[in-house]
Amino acid sequence: MNLALLKEFFAGFLRTRHIARHFRRLAMLETVNDASVSREVPPTLAQTLVGAANSCAVQLLGTLGSHTDGLTAAEADALRVQYGLNEVEHEQPLPWWVHLWHCYKNPFNLLLTLLAVISWLTEDMKAATVIFSMVVLSTLLRFWQEAKSNKAADALKAMVSNTATVLRRDDGKRIELPIKQLVPGDLIVLSAGDMIPADCRVLSAKDLFVSQAAMTGESMPVEKFAQQQDAQARNPLDLENILFMGTNVVSGAATAVILTTGNSTYFGALAQRVTATDRATTSFQHGVNKVSWLLIRFMFVMAPLVLFINGFTKGDWTEALLFALSIAVGLTPEMLPMIVTSTLAKGAVFLSRKKVIVKRLDAIQNFGAMDVLCTDKTGTLTQDKIFLARHVDVWGEESDDVLEMAYLNSYYQTGLKNLLDVAVLDHVEVHRELKVGTAFQKVDEIPFDFNRRRMSVVVVMMLMVMVLRMILV
């Protein structure tokens, strides 16, 4: 700790003397000693994942207390009490008094508070009242604006919920559950576009490709299998049948069992390390602190100088002290914190009218420094329903054959869950006319992927199967 403070002090000394270019090795030293977030898998978790990857499916389910048909609701509730919710470590909202302290603490506010106290002790009540009022107003304005923005952001987060398809042994059906309610031993069904909700072991897979870019940096998807091919692999990120929380399914379908949840996952371990690190100061905060310390240093130089010169020349040290204090107060712009905070608050209000929530006022300067802001459209607020209005062929003509083929595809596909399939399956009259349950048999399925942008099923009519059997006999 002392070494870090000494290094920071020396670096500041070099910058103020404009001789930092002669000490470029300091930058190299900082890069070597930089406390960046480690991406290594914790040893205990690595051992758990490697053991699960090399275990047979039946043995692994027995170890987790699960079943090939999944857990019952009672078993899941008991495990949830034991392991907790499936939530990773995240930055907790600060208590109001801690938030108020963070809004107050900066070098300039501390300096103004000191000057207000000195003015009060010297019975200069007008100066003390003005200075103290500026500090209180700037602090409360920042606190109120950030609290309001955080409340709006939390309300938006509450509107978004991710779910996973889980097998339950109670009724043998697939149900949709919020991700935070998943527990170790749950069997989940995955398809293209799904987010992996926890660290899992693949039990069955059909052309399963997973994007692990968030974990390994690989841009290309990685194929996953039900069995581990290399029994000697010890790096969990190289295991071929292990899925990690935070990755997503690019194509294919799979059934997997959850091994670890929440902070016990690899993603959770990374999140804990990230939240444990201090938030870096922005360029705006750095600039304000730099100006504040410049004024403070100038005041600490000028005030004692005026005190000693006035004291030695006039001999009245009391008057010299009061005059030095008035110089210190005069050199300090009391309105600066109020002006900075009100300007940032005005920017936050302007952005709120554009439907942009700014949780921290210091981020306003970062927005202003941007020339182009690129965002990703993640979804649209709709009724979450699609209606099939027409079914046409390539010439734009109404075609019942198109509807029948679409119905067979939607009925027999087991991969990507899509609202289009729900809209097609609403035409129950097609089911009756085709006698889908008895007249057709599924042969194979090609899962959805983002290159073909489609999924396909192969079906055969049972009548043709019977005819071929008779001919072969």
Nearest CA among 404, 447, 470, 461 for reference residue 191 = 447
- With a CB cutoff of 8 Å and minimum separation 6, the contacts of 33 are none
The residue behind tokens 């000195």 is: 118
Region class of 123: left (phi > 0), else alpha (psi between -120 and 50), else beta:
left
DSSP summary character for residue 86: S
* Among the listed residues 206, 267, 251, the one whose alpha carbon sits nearest the alpha carbon of residue 49: 267
- Cα 420 to Cα 133, 423, 435: the distances in Å are 61, 5, 21
- Which residue is it, tokens 């480690």? 38
Active site residue 400: no
Annotated active-site residue in 376, 384, 401, 444: 376
What tokens appear for 11 in the block? 């670096």
Pairing of strands 163-167, 187-191: antiparallel
Neighbours of 238 (CB within 10 A): 14
Kindly list the distances between the CA atom of residue 142 and the CA atoms of 280, 290, 363, in Å, as whole numbers in the listed order.
19, 20, 12
Active site residues: 376
